[in-house]
Every structure is written in C-alpha cells, then in structure tokens.
Structure 1
Amino acid sequence: MSVKTDVNEIFEVKEKKAIKVNSEWKKVKGFALGLIIPAVLLIIWEVAVRFSLLDAYVFPAPTTIVQKIIELANEGTLWGHVGVTFYRVAVGFLAGMVAAVVIGSVVGYFKWFEQLMDPLIQAFRSIPSLAWVPLFILWMGIGEASKVMLIAVGVFFPIYLNIVSGIQGVDRKLIEVGKIHHFTALQTVRRIIFPASLPSFLVGLRSGVGLGWMFVVASELMGASQGLGYLLVVGQNTYSPELIIASIILFALLGKATDFLLKTLEARALKWQDNLQNQF
C-alpha cells in the first residue's frame, strides 16, 4: 500500500512539474509572439530612413532615438523625468481608484443612490479632460496638486463605470441563494457580489491606468519643469523630433509595463474562473 502511495505521489509531482513547465513555455511563447510586429515595424522604419524613403529630420531612425534615450540616461536626467511622471500617475491613479471604488460601490448597490448621483457623474464624464486644466490651475496653481487631480479625474470614470456595471450585473439567482443560506449583508457582499463583480473591476483598473498615462501628458503641460510630458515640450521648442519620439516610446513602455502588472494580477485573481482565458 505504501509503495502504491509513493508511486502515486511521484506521478503527481511529475505531473505538476510538467504543467508548470508547459505554463512557463506558453508565457514565453506569448511574449515572443507579441514582439514580432513591433520588431518588423522597427526594421522597416530603420531601413526606410537609411534608404532616404523617410526624411531623417522628421522621422529619425530607431537607432537615433535609442541613442537619445541612452544619452539622457548617461546625463542622469532620464531617471528623474521618468520617476516624476511615474509618481504623478501612481498618486493620481490611487486617488481616482479609491474615489471610484467608494462611490461606485454605493451607486451599484443602492438603486436610490444611483438615481441621485449617476446623472451628475455622467454629466461630468462628458467634459473633455483639457477643459479641467484652467480650472485646476485657478484653484490649485501649477504645482503637483493640480497635476495629480487631473490624472485622478481621468482615472475615476472608467473604474467607476466598471464597478457599477459589475455590481449591477451580478446574477440575481446568486443573491437568492445567499438569502436561502441566511447570509448577512456583509456575507452577501464578501462571498457573492465581490467575486462576481471582480472581473469587471479589474478591467476598470486596466482602463483607468491607461487613461492615467494619457492624462499625465495633459497635466505636465501645465507648467511642469520635469517629467516625460515636459520633455515633449522641450523637443517641440528645440525642434528635436528624436526627443519627442523618445518620450512617446517611454510613455508606451511604461504604460505597457503597468498594464502587464495589472493583467498578471487579473490572471491570478481570476484563476478560479472556468473561462476561455484559463483554458489555454
């Protein structure tokens, strides 16, 4: 009996290792697959500039842009600009997320509160982001507070909408099951509403962080002296397209990195779901 148990344990360990290796291989394969199109585009871009199919002054070659990034890094200014921009996005994202979670949860759970608050929130959502800039400058000056507030406003709405949609989309039959088992209101929220609305909430986080990187550009046009948005302005004023494109690429890389982190969090948090994503 013990021999059979040992054999079964060995097979289970081997099976777990095989599954883990297969999972890691799929991740590497997916990462490599995602690099194909960017690599092809960069090669075409480089060749087009080298053979004068594109004006090098208007569209600098990728190698020139990489050299510019390395130059900024060697000067020691790059990390300061990246750090300031990342700090603004992080603080604005956290502020907008907290406000969206609190208000969105109440609006989604209580019908009367939705009727009270949602029309006003939807009206504010229709206001273009740049329309807030002069008002925030007037209220808070051109310091960090106005920049963070603008990012928080941009982050708030997608997270709010997804939370409200997620809570209101919970299957009513699940709520009835909770009542049958005599769940309290807290137990219903913790064991039914929260898990059921979690996918929508995580999608809202990814949308929010994406808008956070967009809004930080507008915020850094408000008299900033540091940040990647500031580098865009410097590149425009000094007629340096390589600096402008380098800043845009850095925005793209940072945005992709934060989205990857949230996507990884989403995959781990929703591992229990039996869906198409977890099947392959």
Structure 2
Amino acid sequence: MSSLVWRIWLPLAVILVWQGLSSVGLITPLLLPSPLAVGESAVNLIESGEIFGHIAVSLLRVFEGFLLAAIVGVLLGSAIGLWSTFDQTFDWLLQTLKPIPPIGWFPLAVLWFGIGEVSKVFIIFLGAFFPILVNVVAGIRQTDKHYIELARVHEIRFRKFFFQVIVPGALPSILTGLRIGIGFAWTCVVAAELLAAESGVGYLIVDARQTFHADVVIVGMLTIGLLGTLMDLGLRQIESRLVRWKQPFPGVAG
C-alpha cells in the first residue's frame, strides 16, 4: 500500500513543485516550460492528430529493428550457447563490437544504406541486438545440466532436445533480453531519426529542439517513455504466462 502511495504522490509532488517554481518565475520557460504549458502542447498535438502520425512511424521503425534483432539474437545466441565452435568463432568479434554505441555506426549506416528507412532500422537493430544476444547465451548456458544429461542419455533428437529442454530452461533469460532490447530500441529511435527523417517521435523532438520549443521536446520524451513502458508491460504479461515456473519438462524421455 505504501509503495502504491509513493508511486502516485511522488510524481504528483514533483509536478506541483515544478509548476510552483515556474509560476513564481524561478524557472525560465524557454529552458523548462511549466507542466501546464507541456500539457497544453500535448493537447494541441493530440487534437491536430500530428502526434499519432509520428507515433505510427516510430512504432514501425522500432518494430522492424526489434524484430530483426530478436530473430538474429535468438538464433546466433542459441548457436553460441550450444556449440563451442560458434562461441570461439564469434566471441572475439562480438566482444569488440558490443562497446560501440549505435550512434557510432552512423557514418557506415549512411555509406551502406543511404539516408532512407534501412539505415534507421539498422541503428535500432544494433541497439536491441546485443542485450538480446547476451541474455540468450546466458540463459542457454545456465540451463539445468541434469536435463541436458538426461536428454543425452536418452539420445533425444536435436529438435526435441532444443524445444523441450533448452528453450524452456532459457526462456526466462530470453524474455528478459527481449524486454531490455525493446527498451534500447526506443532509446535508439531518437538517434536513428537524426538521419534525415521527416517524421517520427525522434524527429519531432529534434525539430522542436531546433526551434526552441522545449514543451514539445518534453511531450516527445514522455511519449517515447510511455510507449516503451507499454511495450515492456506487454512483454511482462507474455513472460508471466509462459514462465509458470520451472517444473520437469514434459516429454524429455520420449
């Protein structure tokens, strides 16, 4: 109960203090508009429908980049986690590339793909890919060795072994990686939409910054935060349904 109270009252208290400081002139509106000004801008963007067009564009970019990252991350992570040959082949390369921030790939993205949609999706893909990959590898390596040994003793075919032993055992870690990945995808969408974009929430933020509309910048930031939170909640619901919690995997001995 106390936790719920804090979650409600703490943000409300921050907003009230923010509004109070703005009202008495202690905060410069050009740098940090009041909550009322931000709310008014949000209402205007909603009533005009402009914000929904930007949201739709960013959602599509995030979906494409995240989906590609999930597919490649799960497949490559599974191979690295299961076979030492893949681990030895790719580990040094991935460890070298992992610290490079997605924004560092801008020049190559433009050279390879131009300034169209592909370069933007590529940047988002990079942001989501490594968290997914790392968690998939960790999940597979942490799978209960008793189940793996049991599967080997019974000489279970690889397909059955993978889907009935490895996937259930690694699923919590895989889903955690997907949740982290979707968060990074939304983080990268603003950077991706720096690449000559003409729409998207990131573009809205950048355009508002250039015209000194800090209220619109804040609306865009809150929009990205809200969308990211909603997608994370969706993945949490999927996780709660899929991971009832580890019980003996059915059919292993079959």
TM superposition score normalised by structure 2: 0.91
Pair 1:108-2:81 in alignment:
yes
Provide the secondary structure at the position in 1 that maps to 2:229.
helix
Q: How far apart are residue 44 of structure 1 and its match?
A: 2.1
For residue 120 of structure 1, what is the aligned residue in structure 2?
93
Structure 1 Cα separation of the partners of residues 163 and 203 of structure 2:
44
Provide the secondary structure at the position in 2 that maps to 1:59.
coil
Contact 2:128 2:184 in 1 (8 A): yes
TM superposition outliers: structure 1 runs of 4+ over 4 Å: 29-33
Deviations 1:72-98 (A, max 9, x none): 122221111111011100111001111
For residue 66 of structure 2, what is the aligned residue in structure 1?
93
For residue 12 of structure 1, what is the aligned residue in structure 2?
none
Pair 1:205-2:178 in alignment:
yes
For residue 77 of structure 1, what is the aligned residue in structure 2?
50
Provide the secondary structure at the position in 2 that maps to 1:272.
coil
Q: Which amino acid aligns with 1:118?
A: D
Q: Which amino acid aligns with 2:232?
A: D
Q: How far apart are residue 187 of structure 1 and its match?
A: 2.2
Q: How far apart are residue 181 of structure 1 and its match?
A: 4.4
Structure 2 Cα separation of the partners of residues 222 and 165 of structure 1:
34
Higher relative contact order at CA 8 Å, sep ≥6: structure 1 or structure 2?
Answer: 2
Matches within 5 A, 1:165-176: 165-176=138-149
Query: Cα gap change, 1:34/1:103 in structure 2, threshold over 3 Å: closer, same or farther?
Result: same
User: 123-132 or 193-202, which moves further after superposition?
Assistant: 123-132
TM superposition score normalised by structure 1: 0.83
**Which is richer in helix?**
1
Provide the secondary structure at the position in 2 that maps to 1:60.
coil
Instruction: Structure 2: state its 5+ residue gaps.
Output: 248-254
Provide the secondary structure at the position in 1 that maps to 2:31.
coil
For residue 164 of structure 1, what is the aligned residue in structure 2?
137
For residue 60 of structure 1, what is the aligned residue in structure 2?
33
Deviations 1:165-214 (A, max 9, x none): 10011121221223344433222222221111001000000110000001
Provide the secondary structure at the position in 2 that maps to 1:271.
coil
2:19 to 46, 49, 57: 46
Structure 1 Cα separation of the partners of residues 185 and 133 of structure 2:
14
Q: Which amino acid aligns with 1:46?
A: Q
Q: Which amino acid aligns with 1:204?
A: G
For residue 216 of structure 1, what is the aligned residue in structure 2?
189
Query: Cα gap change, 1:179/1:116 in structure 2, threshold over 3 Å: closer, same or farther?
Result: same
For residue 203 of structure 2, what is the aligned residue in structure 1?
230
Contact 2:127 2:185 in 1 (8 A): yes
Q: Which amino acid aligns with 1:96?
A: A
Contact 2:208 2:216 in 1 (8 A): yes
Query: Cα gap change, 1:35/1:78 in structure 2, threshold over 3 Å: closer, same or farther?
Result: same
Q: Which amino acid aligns with 1:55?
A: T
Instruction: Structure 1: state its 5+ residue gaps.
Output: 1-25, 275-280
For residue 20 of structure 1, what is the aligned residue in structure 2?
none
For residue 278 of structure 1, what is the aligned residue in structure 2?
none
Q: How far apart are residue 163 of structure 1 and its match?
A: 0.3
Q: Which amino acid aligns with 2:151?
A: G
For residue 195 of structure 1, what is the aligned residue in structure 2?
168
Q: Which amino acid aligns with 1:218?
A: A
Q: How far apart are residue 33 of structure 1 and its match?
A: 5.9
Taking only the aligned residue pairs, the percentage that are identical comes to 34
For residue 4 of structure 1, what is the aligned residue in structure 2?
none
- Structure showing greater radius of gyration is 1
Q: Which amino acid aligns with 2:206?
A: V
Provide the secondary structure at the position in 2 that maps to 1:170.
coil
Provide the secondary structure at the position in 1 that maps to 2:195.
coil
Q: Which amino acid aligns with 2:28?
A: D
Structure 2 Cα separation of the partners of residues 30 and 95 of structure 1:
37
Provide the secondary structure at the position in 1 that maps to 2:28.
coil
